[in-house]
Copies of this chain bind each other. A is one copy, B any other.
Amino acid sequence: MAEAEEEHRAVGRPRSELARRAVLDSAYALLEDEGIDDFSIDAVSRRSGVARTTIYRRWPSKSVLAIDSFLECFRPQLDAARGGDPEENLRALVASLAAALAGPSGRVAASVVAHAQRDAETQRLFRERFSGPLRRESAIVLGAGVASGHFRADLDVERVIDAFVGAVYFRLLVGSSLDRSWVDALCDTLLIGCRARGGHDGGL
């Protein structure tokens, strides 16, 4: 079954999609192995077997390729459930971000943000392609809680996002633990300030 699926994919996908996948996977493997400082389109070309010119056609700079490959491997790790209990959805989102950053992706994520301090394009791409989508996803989760009346109507959704994304990322950067008990304690603390008065605020 898995084999049949694999074959179907190989047949069904155009050659360019296979090359794209090979480039992104090789790029991510290089980022995991060596970080972004020694990362280069030449090295990705050698590792993936895809010609430099083909890579440059799609990714005009090493920053763009690095960020794209990071995101391609990182995004699927985030839990973006929207139905059900808004508090559980927020906890799941924060927990998935922390779990992803506690794993191998964390080293890549730290390396990318470090590089962004010396390279304005990487910083802009990180903000636009990583931070931006993560914030929009988070705003939907929190906004659903506001819409249902579970969270306060005047909740400053963007500042709650600043708080939990910043807390998780900063902990990664200083090398502190991102375990589930820390995530739960952070969410407990932030959720107290999110809940609408009456009914929902006695749960902790």
Contact = CB atoms under 8 A, between A and B. Distances in A.
A88 to B, nearest CB: 18
Contact of A174 (B123, B156, B186): B123
A35 B119 CA distance: 12
Query: Secondary structure at chain A's binding surface: helix, strand, loop or mixed?
Result: helix
B159 A170 contact: no
Q: How many chain copies does the complex carry?
A: 2
A204 to B, nearest CB: 8
Contacts of A152: 192
A102 B167 CA distance: 19
Interface stretch (A1-9, A39-47, A61-69, A108-116): A108-116
B116 A115 contact: no
A60 interface: no
Given A114-B115, A175-B123, A186 B170 contact: no
A190 to B, nearest CB: 7
Contact of A162 (B123, B167, B191, B192): B167
Top-9 shortest CB links A-B: A193-B193, A166-B166, A166-B170, A166-B167, A114-B114, A159-B189, A163-B163, A192-B193, A114-B117
